[in-house]
Amino acid sequence: EGSNYVDVNFKIDERTGRIVMMGALDNLVKGAAGQAVQNMNLLFGFDEAEGLNLVPMFP
């Protein structure tokens, strides 16, 4: 609970023989967006962590 989800994948470029790696990190609540939700919760009298301890969505 509370961990970020990371999706990592790779593809081999047949033309160059190189590996192309990609990663997508779901860290929405780690920055300004999470801080904004936390501040809104306090402003409206909700629990400070309301809506922040959810399981990340996988596309």
Query: pLDDT per residue over 35-50, tens digit each?
Result: 888 899 999 999 998 8
Indicate the pLDDT class of residue 23, thresholds 50, 70 and 90.
confident
Nearest-angstrom CA–CA distance, 33 and 14:
40
User: Which secondary-structure segment (H or E) carries 35?
Assistant: helix 32-43
**Does residue 59 register a pLDDT over 70?**
no
**Does residue 14 register a pLDDT over 90?**
yes
User: Which secondary-structure segment (H or E) carries 58?
Assistant: none
Section 18-39 average pLDDT: 80
**Does residue 1 register a pLDDT over 50?**
no
Nearest-angstrom CA–CA distance, 43 and 10:
44
pLDDT, residue 44, reads 93
